[in-house]
Amino acid sequence: MRSIILGLIFVFFSFSSLAASETPTKKDAESFVKGAVVYLKMNGRKKFLNEVTSSYGKFHFQEGTNKGLYLFVYDEKGNVLAHGSRLELNGRYRWNDKDPDGKYWIRDWTYLVHTRGKGWTTYKEYNPANNNKLMLKTSYVTLVDEMIIGCGIYK
């Protein structure tokens, strides 16, 4: 019971701190992921993935909320389990996708979480808050229950 209460307090402060300023920071993205992991552990995989893909879910992109942050969730083979911005990617195999510079970013973050468990990676991706403009993105990723959970900020 105590761990549930502590988890709820952590989630509350993680999300409330996101409203403090307009532009998301690396700290915001990392806190968002950590709050999502707590949510996952408290609510289970199915409810968690639904919160990522549901247009009103707490981990889905929404203008004016959570600084526009969203989660992406992949398996370790490059399959999109849930995407909080681009629903058309859900269920898609993306292991061989490259950014415009030829970087296999999904392979990179998979290697990162297998070697360090969590960390930061940078690549180019489309920003839903900026008319899907291609921008540099730095993402925090972590490996939990055979899922790579991440959130990034655009530069």
pLDDT digits (tens, 9 = 90+) for 18-71: 444 578 999 999 999 999 999 999 999 999 999 999 988 999 887 767 788 999
Q: Name which of 107, 57, 50 is nearest 82 in CA terms.
A: 50
Residue 14 has pLDDT above 60, yes or no: no
Q: Is the pLDDT of residue 15 over 60?
A: no
pLDDT computed for residue 126 by the predictor: 85
Q: How confident is the model over 88-115, as a mean pLDDT?
A: 96
Domains of the chain: 2-154 (3.30.450.20)
Prediction pTM value: 0.84
d(CA 98, CA 147): 20
Residue (of 109, 103, 146, 144) closest to 124 by Cα position: 103
